[in-house]
């Protein structure tokens, strides 16, 4: 197999390294020539982009949203036009299920397979080839993508033979993840207002029925006052925004996710969009007259 | 040590059995004579209530709310008047922190210690002596309560020397627990609306960053359509109601917990108050035109 990976952000770069480590020649494509060069230094393929795309058995896409995915695949100089029939697009971008179905349909017209393959896990797991992939697509799409999936993922959840199911599951996961981060911030600051030390709250609740994966992961950021952006506030503005868009289109009332989205919007609006998503706690602190650890 | 335990519901009965198993003579007190008799059949102490209260080193209270706690301790024929100085009230009831402080103060005037000791864990852990206890109170209160705590709890979180901190931590835990149950229902039904099988959603998300203790515990109830009340909708109407009351009094804005409370209120208002709290999913299903597993 030969591969092209589009989008060398913190997730995509690690995934490209995992492909290379598995012996799959991989050309990295990014808007930043510096990132492309950095991947070549890590063993990435070189040479002209057009030739690599024409030769690729799999093109893995790890961009920010549906609009970027469209630009990459179908825009001016888009990749789809240069791919060979029988190759597969493995789209790891978080997009609405309808968008995944539409992309699959457009590529099928060119004889190109499409795997709807959003990912779960942070940059560290991406670099280690240990992501979770929520995948759906035809049997042929899975078969064509298999070597790349094996290189990048610890677990591939196979969610059926149609594009859209993978993106639907990703939306469900992001709804919960976003709600749980906002709830962690709400609960920890609520405890502070009642006189509880945030580090002690994190320690105790992590062992009680109120815990969540996000509480245990992001709670310590709040307790330490460390807002280094492992995943930024604006990522949840985007992902809960996608959830909100899908829910509105489906006439699905999602009041808890809505409330969480408003808090992330407030955090971004107050200037914290590029900080770690745990900085949603700053909205709660400001609204409650509290000083967070680290002085936030 | 001799003990009296007030409130032989599903939690209190199991806790009384744990005290008895640890060799602590324990008289059970309940509004239901049948439950009192059932505890005697399990080895509980008999004889006149007044004598047991006068002799008790610890009175453990496991009732529904602050009003019941007040009635038990300070109402007509209240227990406080009959207790000996140096004994301890171990209050496991979910109450606001201010209420815990007030109770401690009223009892201190009689020379009685007070341990603010809300509990976490279900009926099975109560019966096994494996609860989590979020406890705060004076050193003397902890010392007096120790044999009872050892019998009932797997973990005692010691949260400082003043009543109120235990109840504050419990409120933080219930905020998260309630939000996570509502979010689980929201996410699973959202997935259904997008075509995902609820059992598959529970399976996949349990292994992803969107998971929570409550998602993994209550999600299967929704996927199976089993609303046998392990913990009822109305418990979270009450507990998120307490959170809401505390937050309002403290001028703490808690929009995510608020949204979750509204969904539990809707579930109770629609007639599901006595069903398992996972029945909050029925509100989402009704609002989205979905049929839940089990036909709910």
pLDDT band for position B122 (cuts 50, 70, 90): confident
Q: How many CB pairs under 8 A join A and B?
A: 225
Contact A252 B189 (CB under 8 A): yes
**What tokens appear for B75 in the block?**
């109402």
Thinking of the domain A168-295, which architecture would CATH place it in?
Answer: Orthogonal Bundle (1.10)
Residue A256 scores a pLDDT above 80: yes
Predicted confidence (pLDDT) per residue in B200-214, tens digit:
999 999 999 999 999
Average the pLDDT over A88-94 and give the result.
97
User: A218 to chain B: which residues are within 8 Å by CB?
Assistant: none
Using a pLDDT cut of 70, give the percent of chain A over it: 100
Using a pLDDT cut of 90, give the percent of chain B over it: 97
pLDDT band for position B295 (cuts 50, 70, 90): confident
In angstroms, the Cα distances linking B95 to A101, A292, B109, B242 are 51, 26, 21, 7
Residue A156 scores a pLDDT above 60: yes
Average the pLDDT over A269-286 and give the result.
98
Q: Report pTM.
A: 0.94
Residue B110 scores a pLDDT above 80: yes
Q: Where are the alpha helices (DSSP H) in chain B?
A: 10-21, 33-41, 49-55, 66-74, 97-108, 123-127, 139-152, 165-193, 198-205, 213-224, 233-249, 255-267, 281-288
Contact A172 B201 (CB under 8 A): yes
Q: What is the dihedral of CA B15, B19, B25, B26, to 10 degrees?
A: -10
Predicted confidence (pLDDT) per residue in A42-69, tens digit:
999 999 999 999 999 999 999 999 999 9
Thinking of the domain B167-291, which architecture would CATH place it in?
Answer: Orthogonal Bundle (1.10)
Contact A254 B190 (CB under 8 A): yes
Tell me whether residue B207 is one of the annotated catalytic residues.
Answer: no
**Domain layout of chain B by residue ranges:** 3-161, 167-291
At the top level of CATH, which class does the domain B3-161 belong to? alpha beta
Query: Is the CB of residue A243 less than 8 Å away from at least one CB of chain B?
Result: yes
Q: Which of A96, A159, A172 is nearest to B219 (CA)?
A: A172
Contact B132 A207 (CB under 8 A): yes
Tell me which chain A residue has its CA closest to the CA of residue B157: A204
């Amino acid at each position: 197999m030969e591969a092209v990976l589009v989008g060398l952000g913190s997730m995509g770069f690690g995934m490209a390294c995992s492909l290379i480590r598995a012996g799959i020649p991989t050309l990295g494509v990014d808007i930043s020539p510096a990132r492309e060069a950095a991947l070549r230094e890590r063993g990435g393929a070189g040479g002209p982009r057009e030739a690599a795309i024409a030769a690729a058995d799999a093109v893995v896409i790890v961009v920010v949203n549906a609009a970027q995915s469209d630009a990459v695949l179908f825009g001016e100089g888009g990749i789809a036009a240069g791919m060979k029939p029988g190759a597969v697009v493995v789209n790891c971008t978080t997009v609405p299920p309808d968008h995944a179905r539409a992309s699959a349909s457009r590529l099928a017209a060119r004889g190109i397979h499409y795997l709807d393959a959003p990912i779960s896990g942070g940059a560290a797991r991406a670099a280690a080839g240990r992501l979770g992939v929520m995948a759906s697509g035809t049997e042929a799409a899975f078969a064509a993508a298999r070597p790349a999936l094996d290189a990048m993922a610890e677990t591939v959840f196979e969610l059926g033979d149609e594009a859209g199911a993978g993106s639907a599951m990703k939306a469900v996961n992001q709804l919960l993840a976003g709600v749980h981060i906002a709830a962690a911030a709400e609960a920890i600051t609520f405890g502070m207002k009642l006189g509880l030390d945030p580090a002690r709250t994190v320690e105790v609740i992590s062992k009680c029925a109120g815990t969540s994966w996000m509480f245990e992961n992001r709670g310590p950021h709040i307790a330490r006052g460390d807002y280094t952006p492992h995943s930024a506030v604006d990522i949840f503005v985007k992902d809960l925004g996608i959830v909100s868009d899908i829910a509105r289109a489906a006439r699905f009332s999602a009041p808890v996710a809505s409330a969480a989205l408003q808090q992330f919007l407030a955090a971004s609006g107050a200037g914290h969009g590029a900080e770690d998503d745990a900085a949603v706690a700053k909205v709660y602190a400001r609204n409650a007259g509290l000083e967070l650890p680290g002085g936030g």
